[in-house]
Structure 1
Amino acid sequence: MSKNNVIIITGGGSWGHHYIVKEIKEHLSDHRVVYVGSKDSDQEIFENDPDFFRTYFFDTHEEHDDNIFEQFKSYYSYWSYKQECKKIIEELEPKVVFSVGGYSAKPMAFAAKAKNIPLVIYEQNALSERINEELRPYATLFLSPYLSDSPISTYPVKSEYFTKQRIRSDIKCVFFLGSIKGASPIADLALSLAKDFKARGIKIIQQTGEEHLEEIRAKYEKIGVEAKLFGYKDKISSYMNEADLAVARAGSSTIWELSANGLPAIYIPYPGAWDNHQFFNAKFLADQKLGWLMREEAIDKQEVLSILDKNLTTISTKLISRIEPNGAQKIASLLKEFCERS
């Protein structure tokens, strides 16, 4: 591989960021891919990943707006790591820097700007991250599945969600997704609806943490309801395929995996997510009548029951058309084009 094949991927800090990095790097095996992230959230995930030609991890942290000392400390570390990133660029001469966002992307993304290296940003949420908005004016390309004018308007969903795709109509099975703790609003909602579902002949599938499986199973047995329970690490796509309706959080990977599978959902955004971004993800689909949005503090059992009588054919069909397959390959191909220009 020639030196002209170097692509730098930067950013991280959360599972959602890591998901995108993992999916896209799989399609860059014929290039020298370098990863730049943070010690506290990315190093454990990517340090020993053989797909990367090199990895660099800095002691970057989230910025704190309410603490002057922390602001100064954050700015100083950013400035020093930016200088380190400039040296990395000078040595490796990458043809493009691809940022998935997150606080760990800042030093390398701004170093790319300073060294006139093309910067491609992928925004995974409907509400752009602060760092992505800050960098957007300097980006060569800004990609987002929420923007109609994005050069690539899809999400790098795993192929299994497309292959198990089907159009839903009547609701015979509901999938409660994201209740990984023994007690959570989604888990509590599932239990509160269990008897109503049984009376209607509707099956329940529920995801929960491995350590809570027996606890949740006992609660269903106590009220005389049979539910299919599975742990967090199990393959979600297989269970998703059985369901006709989901009740889920609204992280980016979740809403696009459900869309790819053609599974309509009632979204209950996690209120603790940064800047309440899950609300805006869910609102994006709800505004197009491609799902339902319900705030955690206003969960309405009767509204859920009313949705059970709806025919989902139109929503399911439109969800499938909303996202294109092979998103990771398309993004990887776009990055490769920068290498081919030299």
Structure 2
Amino acid sequence: MKILIATGGTGGHIYPALALADAACKQDPKTEILFIGNHDRMEAKEIPAHGYAFKGLNASGLTGNVFNKIKAVTLMGIAFTKTNKIVKEFKPDIAVGFGGYVSAPVMMAAHHNHVPVMLHEQNSIVGAANKLCARFADAIVLCYEKCFDELGREKTRLLGNPRASIAKQSVFDEAYYKSLGLSMDKPLVLIVMGSLGSTSVNEAMVTALKEMKADIQILYVSGKQNYETMKNKFSNKNIKVVDYVNQIAIMEKVDCIICRAGATTAAEITAFGIPAILIPSPYVANNHQYYNAKVLVDKKCAYMIEEKDLNGKLLFEKLSRIMNNSKLREEMHENMLKNGFVNASDDILTWMKELVG
């Protein structure tokens, strides 16, 4: 099968696309994959680094003032023309769009050339590119039931995020775990707020963590920009501060996580069944992390603290409630697992084969 994948802008769009590509190649080594994304965003480096062919486009979102929108429409037309040529040359069996504004002209060109179009919506709020392309898409994969309200059920299936499959297939690395100074015998709280960390969260952590019991160990991923500030903030030897951690390698031993509520994070913590305190980023499109978090809160998998309400006392109260109650942790664990789509990649690939025929 020849697969054209469009994705870009953020890791939330890019890493699920890469996960699906990896699964497709694992199923059938003869699979041919071509990625298209922005020529000047992270995908332009990240995707070739994973060994996949990549074509870059110049595109921008329909945001800002009228001049920016006119520019975006003009760039989309140019991108459509370029992609139309790429589609004719590559001759894909199917095109899959993972969102980000760059995916819209790619899906349009694929549809124009009578190539089956599948969209993947990672979040609980449908993104602008997927909204635009939904009317002509042949199939739409969802990760949240909430999206049925907007996209209906005729050509949608709730199959989940391929990153959940990656998480489920991962192997716990005991040597790496111990190299972080962690004990195999103590409960672990993992705190991670993204690659750069969050200054506001770090400030609240200083207050909250100083009150934690000594029998609970905490791995605090401060982010690179905050590491020098945070590494000496805690005298408690059970609190380990690092600037980065390979999360997947240690998730099996995490008893509770404090994190953002991006699509990839949500996919991974549900796959592992990890009770969570979610602090959604308020700086993302359509406030989608809040809505992602709310779904998990409503299903009794997690607690949520909005960043505007965040303080050390509130964080300490919620963390203590989870860590001091093993029955509650087990209930949250089971509820998380019920919302994990660990077979997402295989299920999506099966549907793709149905569409190709």
TM-score interval, normalised by the smaller of the two chains: 0.7 to 0.9
Aligned partner of 1:24: which letter?
L
Larger RCO: 1 or 2 (CA < 8 Å, sep 6+): 1
Q: How does 1:61-210 map to 2 (within 5 A)?
A: 61-64=60-63, 66-147=64-145, 150-156=156-162, 157-161=164-168, 172-178=187-193, 180-181=195-196, 184-198=199-213, 201-210=215-224
Aligned partner of 2:157: which letter?
P
The answer to whether the 8 A contact 1:179-1:187 is kept is no
The answer to whether the 8 A contact 2:211-2:316 is kept is no
Residue matched to 1:57: 56
Residue matched to 1:322: 339
Per-residue CA deviations over 1:265-292 (Å, capped at 9, x if unaligned) read 0111011011111001001111111111
- 3-state DSSP of counterpart to 1:297: helix
Provide the rounded CA distance (Å) in 1 between the counterparts of 2:73 and 2:47.
25
Residues 190 and 139 of structure 1: CA distance in aligned 2, closer, same or farther (over 3 Å): same
Residues 274 and 211 of structure 1: CA distance in aligned 2, closer, same or farther (over 3 Å): closer
The answer to whether the 8 A contact 2:259-2:276 is kept is yes
Structure 1 vs Structure 2: percent identity of aligned residues?
Answer: 23
Aligned partner of 1:59: which letter?
N
Provide the rounded CA distance (Å) in 2 between the counterparts of 1:71 and 1:324.
37
The offset of 1:107, in angstroms, is: 0.9
Residues 202 and 334 of structure 1: CA distance in aligned 2, closer, same or farther (over 3 Å): same
- Ranges in structure 2 where 5+ consecutive residues have no aligned partner: 173-185
Residue matched to 1:12: 8
Residues 163 and 70 of structure 1: CA distance in aligned 2, closer, same or farther (over 3 Å): closer
Residues 160 and 141 of structure 1: CA distance in aligned 2, closer, same or farther (over 3 Å): closer
- Ranges in structure 1 where 5+ consecutive residues have no aligned partner: 166-170
Match of 2:297 among 286, 309, 312: 286
Provide the rounded CA distance (Å) in 2 between the counterparts of 1:229 and 1:301.
18
The answer to whether the 8 A contact 1:161-1:237 is kept is no
Aligned partner of 2:217: which letter?
K
Residues 326 and 153 of structure 1: CA distance in aligned 2, closer, same or farther (over 3 Å): closer
Provide the rounded CA distance (Å) in 1 between the counterparts of 2:5 and 2:65.
30
The answer to whether the 8 A contact 2:199-2:226 is kept is no
TM-score, length of structure 1 as denominator length: 0.86
The answer to whether the 8 A contact 1:176-1:190 is kept is no
136-145 or 316-325, which moves further after superposition? 316-325
- 3-state DSSP of counterpart to 2:238: coil
Provide the rounded CA distance (Å) in 2 between the counterparts of 1:308 and 1:27.
36
TM-score, length of structure 2 as denominator length: 0.82
